[in-house]
Amino acid sequence: MRAPDWLTARPVAHRGLHDFARGIIENMPAAAEAAAQAHFAIECDIQLTADGEAMVHHDDALGRLTEGSGALLGKTAAELKAVRFKNTDERMMTLGDLCALVAGRVPLVIEVKSHFDGDRKLVKRMAEVLAGYAGPAAGMSFDPDQVLALRELMPNLVRGIVAEREYTETDWPEASAEQRLGMTHLRHAFRTRPHFVAYWVNELPSVAPWIARNVFGLPLLSWTVRTPEQRARAARYADQMIFEGFLPGT
């Protein structure tokens, strides 16, 4: 299956249409609402809680953008739903909360965060939530094992791989050397069978995404586009951009 046209029809707002100067922080409800109102698809991240819920948050620990501290995996959904984003009255939301907020107005591109331990509980919860959601949605992950979980648990969901050219132990400490090797050059593709690829814009063009796009016909998203140079690179080598820090069309 090739990814549907809605995946690349409009630019994708990275972690929602956030703007720190306006008090709109990434992955919080206001960022999702701003993207929906501007008719941009929403890229978001999900993390697993101690009780198996999927929370919309990039970091695996509190503190950078939120009040509090500690790993999300050590806290329950109820505890995390009470967490405020710094200098706002907004609180962390579950994937179900996000689906209710967006209500199919724009596509959701959901990145499954991973600890590279083979745990499928987050994808299982994602499957439960999306089973009752009628809007356009896609799942993706850096971790091929999580993409394989998407394939096996949600075979009809649009799925993708997030990728870059190399994976170092410094940047990917939770992944083993074998896992890091398996992530390079999209060599897992015949196992995971992604419908699209999301590739680091600074490393375009690269052989693996070129083959995926031009030989196998997979749409190519580029992340994360912030500068005019990156925007030009994305326009030249990819089908659509995942962006932040500016408004496309302005």
pLDDT tens across 11-38, in order?
999 999 999 999 999 999 999 999 999 9
Predicted local distance difference test score (pLDDT) of residue 249: 85
For the chain, the 3-state helix, strand and coil shares in percent, each to the nearest 5, are 35, 20, 45
Tens of pLDDT along 91-102? 999 999 999 999
CA distances from 134 to 20, 27, 69, 157, 186 (A): 31, 21, 35, 12, 30
End-to-end Cα separation, the chain, in angstroms: 34
Closest listed residue to residue 57, CA positions, set 137, 65, 239: 65
Instruction: Say what the pTM is.
Output: 0.98
Predicted local distance difference test score (pLDDT) of residue 73: 98
CATH superfamily for domain 6-243: Phosphatidylinositol (PI) phosphodiesterase (3.20.20.190)
Query: In the structure, what pLDDT confidence band is assigned to residue 250 with cuts at 50, 70 and 90?
Result: confident
Tens of pLDDT along 52-79? 999 999 999 999 999 999 999 999 999 9
How do 196-200 and 158-163 pair as beta strands? parallel
